[in-house]
């Protein structure tokens, strides 16, 4: 709790002067660095352009003005077509168990070494200026600067994708982006074109049901799983191949928000996830993930009840357990957002020797697409020379020239084979990347899709039936909300036909919420299987009962008890939580006459920001706050979102008694500190049906 506020003059010891226009600005002192042009010429006046007299025209010879404006006019580069809005951080990867039996890649065989990396999280559908908390898939891309070259694991927070073949990617993105004739909705799938496309593409059903789940509304970037999605190959020293899928499991556990929370967070703080990542790293509470692999042979894959090369299929952890072999820790926020987070370029084709691709047709298309889009977005084939993209191991090649070439090759030889310069780099059969020598069956080349890719409903059915009852209700409600935004009746009807193939109860719940009759079920291309349930795909069921990484909000006002505040602060922090003081203003005088600074005004810090709330206010302040709508929303939302509330007598008398808040076991007086702390570690989901209609 902050107890000392410095009200000293902020302009003290600053050399201030007034410019010709009357504005006050700071001049450089003798020891301060001098502002210069890009060519290093010192600038004498950065406030006024060069003019022909005080009221005359500006002069073309003003090179300082021309350079400054010219650079400003070209500051923006094309944003990513998808994953445009992202947040990132530096950190390290550490291998804890060697996979030398399966691969020669040093990053997966040398334990105990901390290898630098850069991780970017992103939404998919929105533009760079959209919000952090839409219902959306999240990108989860990791660039590891290994000793054998960069390794980019370019994945999502869901283990599957919408489509099976890269040929359909432009169609998917065009369908989910703002409709071209009207330019909206932004960062949303709740519109006709998306649901028209997916209702005509049964292969999308698995990813769509994940999109309707709590996985699409993460509580924090630190509480998301990451998946490499595709099957890759590990190649060992004998040339033997083992298939692998990559996983990132958050140490803080998986947690989502409710839809109502996500909507309100996006209005109160569209940068909610970005701010959370920034603040947690600055506080030394470093986000951490366990790195795991699913390993399986071709013979084992042939026995799966699905084709592992189909990117719309996950491999249940109950079928192939995830083997934890390493960890990722993010411990440094970027020094410059544009230079690093915006300019970083991920490509799934970036991997070191000992790892190889599978024949997944979606992965094969990505190997082309990502490189192609970097050339467009970053403007040059030399994008790998940008510091955030450059390898940290020695590298050498014969590439030359091109826009923004930063290297100066000191040789006459930039080709191979050559005999003029023995110091130039040469290929290495021993150390170089080698593709797996796969034996292929005879076949006819053509635009075909394997029959083993035809089952579009068994895994979505498994996903839905594996959820807790609360999560099933959230999924049904999400379908009802999204389809309720679709104006075209036959699209809604077509989707209900698909839902009947996933689960009849789910289809009935959505149809009832929409006021529609159920149609005939869609005709499946392959028999629908009843696969074993997989609890590993849950969200609520996987949320750990902990306050580690969570946030407690304490509402205070004039005259609040310092001892009570400190008691709850200590209890929350001892349990691993962070604490923010919320008040009517930014400064508050407590009962012992000390003045403290609040982290937020209550009007700017709704309870959707917190995992549990505490109210410690005096009667006169409670009477005033009872007339404030943001305060009433603070308590109402905390209750409606199934969170723990601790209240003082004044809060009970003047606020809670006026609201539709039931005194259940998660609404406790200040005297029950331990009960509040235990409650705040989870949510009282049994409260949810009492406070909102769920499909």
Task: List C-alpha distances in Å: 382 to 115, 198, 345, 389.
Answer: 24, 38, 11, 10
3 state DSSP class of 580: strand
Using CA atoms, how far apart are residues 220 and 550, in angstroms rounded to an integer? 9
- The CA distance from 580 to 609, in Å, is 10
Q: How far is CA 390 from the centre of its chain?
A: 23
The C-alpha atoms of residue 182 and residue 530 are separated, in whole angstroms, by 42
**Pair 326, 97: CB distance under 8 Å:** yes
CA geometry: angle at 122 spanning 329 and 466, to 5°?
85
Catalytic option among 15, 71, 83, 207: 83
Listing DSSP states for 598-660 in one string gives: -SEEGGG--GGG-SEEEEE--HHHHHHHTT-HHHHHHHHHHHHTT-EEEE-HHHHHHTGGGTT
Contact 272, 322 (CB under 8 A): no
Query: Angle between the 192-199 and 169-176 helix axes, to the nearest 10 degrees?
Result: 150
Query: For residue 201, what are the contacts with CB-CB under 8 A and spacing of at least 6?
Result: 162, 163, 168
Q: Is 156 among the residues known to form the active site?
A: yes
Beta bridge partners of 138: 123
| Catalytic residue (choose from 150, 156, 207, 501) | 156
Contact predicate 352/433, CB 8 Å: yes
Q: Other C-beta atoms within 10 Å of 198: how many? A: 25
Task: Tell me whether residue 83 is one of the annotated catalytic residues.
Answer: yes
Helices (H), 353-503: 361-378, 458-466, 469-484, 489-502
Residue whose C-alpha is closest to residue 605's, from 220, 264, 256, 268: 268
Quick one: 267 exposed, middle or buried, by C-beta within 10 A (0-12, 13-18, 19+)? Answer: exposed
* Closest to 217 measured CA to CA, from 126, 304, 123: 123
The pairing of strands 24-26 and 667-669 is unpaired
Coil vs helix vs strand at 376: helix
**Nearest-10 crossing angle of helices 629-640, 259-268:** 150
| C-alpha to C-alpha distances, 630 to 50, 624, 650, 654, nearest whole angstrom | 51, 12, 17, 15
* Catalytically active residues, by annotation: 83, 156
């Amino acid at each position: 709790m902050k107890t000392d506020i410095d009200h000293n003059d902020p302009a003290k010891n600053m050399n201030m002067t007034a410019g010709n226009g009357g504005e006050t600005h700071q001049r450089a002192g003798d020891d301060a660095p001098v502002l210069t042009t890009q060519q290093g010429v010192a600038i004498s006046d950065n406030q006024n352009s060069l003019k022909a007299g005080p009221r005359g025209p500006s002069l073309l010879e003003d090179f300082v003005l021309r350079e400054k404006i010219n650079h400003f006019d070209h500051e923006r580069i094309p944003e990513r077509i998808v994953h445009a809005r992202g947040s990132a951080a530096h950190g390290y990867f550490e291998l804890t168990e060697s996979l030398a039996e399966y691969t020669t890649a040093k990053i997966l065989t040398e334990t105990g070494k901390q290898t630098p990396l850069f991780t970017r999280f992103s939404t998919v559908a929105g533009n760079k200026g959209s919000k952090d908390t839409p219902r959306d898939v999240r990108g989860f891309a990791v660039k590891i600067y290994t000793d054998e070259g960069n390794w980019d694991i370019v994945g999502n927070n869901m283990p599957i994708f919408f489509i099976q073949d890269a040929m359909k990617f432009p169609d998917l993105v065009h369908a989910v982006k703002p409709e071209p004739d009207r330019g909206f909705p932004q960062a949303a799938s709740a519109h006709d074109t998306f649901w028209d496309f997916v209702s005509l593409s049964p292969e999308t059903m698995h990813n769509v049901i994940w999109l309707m789940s709590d996985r699409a509304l993460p509580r924090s970037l630190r509480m998301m799983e990451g998946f490499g999605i595709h099957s890759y190959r590990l190649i060992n020293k004998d040339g033997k191949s083992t298939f692998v899928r990559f996983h990132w499991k958050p140490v803080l556990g998986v947690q989502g928000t409710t839809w109502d929370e996500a909507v309100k967070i996006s209005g109160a703080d569209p940068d909610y996830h970005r701010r959370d990542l920034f603040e947690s790293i600055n506080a030394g509470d470093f986000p951490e993930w366990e790195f795991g692999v699913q390993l399986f042979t071709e013979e084992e894959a042939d026995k799966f009840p699905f084709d592992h090369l189909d990117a719309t299929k996950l491999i249940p952890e109950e079928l192939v357990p995830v083997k934890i072999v390493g960890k990722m820790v993010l411990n440094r926020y970027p020094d410059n957002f544009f230079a690093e987070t915006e300019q970083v370029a991920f490509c799934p084709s970036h991997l070191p020797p000992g790892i190889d691709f599978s024949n997944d047709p979606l992965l094969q298309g990505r190997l082309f697409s990502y490189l192609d889009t970097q050339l467009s977005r970053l403007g040059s084939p030399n994008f790998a020379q940008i510091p955030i993209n450059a390898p940290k191991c020695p590298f050498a090649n014969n590439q030359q020239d091109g826009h923004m070439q930063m290297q100066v090759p000191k040789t006459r030889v930039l080709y191979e084979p050559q005999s003029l310069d023995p110091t130039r780099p040469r290929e290495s059969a021993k150390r170089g990347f080698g593709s797996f020598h796969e034996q292929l069956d005879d076949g006819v080349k053509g635009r075909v899709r394997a029959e083993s890719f035809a089952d579009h409903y068994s895994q979505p059915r498994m996903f839905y039936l594996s959820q807790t009852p609360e999560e099933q209700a959230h999924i049904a409600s999400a379908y009802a909300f999204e389809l309720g935004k679709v104006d075209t009746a036959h699209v809604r009807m077509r989707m209900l036909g698909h839902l009947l193939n996933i689960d009849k109860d789910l289809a009935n719940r959505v149809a009832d919420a929409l006021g529609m009759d159920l149609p005939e079920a869609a005709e499946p291309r392959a028999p629908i299987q009843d696969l074993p349930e997989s609890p590993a795909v849950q969200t609520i069921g996987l949320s750990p009962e902990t306050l580690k990484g969570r946030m407690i909000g304490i509402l205070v006002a004039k005259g609040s008890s310092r001892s009570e505040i400190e008691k709850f602060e200590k209890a929350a922090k001892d349990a691993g939580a962070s604490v923010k003081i919320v008040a009517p203003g930014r400064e508050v005088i407590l009962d012992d006459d000390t003045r403290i600074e609040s982290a937020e005004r209550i009007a700017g810090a709704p309870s959707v920001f917190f995992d549990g709330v505490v109210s410690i206010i005096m009667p006169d302040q409670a009477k005033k706050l009872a007339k404030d709508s943001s305060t009433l929303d603070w308590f109402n939302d905390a209750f409606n979102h199934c969170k723990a509330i601790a209240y003082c007598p004044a809060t009970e008398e003047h606020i809670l008694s006026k609201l539709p808040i039931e005194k259940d076991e998660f609404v406790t007086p200040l005297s029950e500190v331990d009960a509040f702390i235990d409650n705040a570690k989870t949510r009282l989901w049994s409260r949810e049906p009492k406070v909102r209609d769920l499909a």
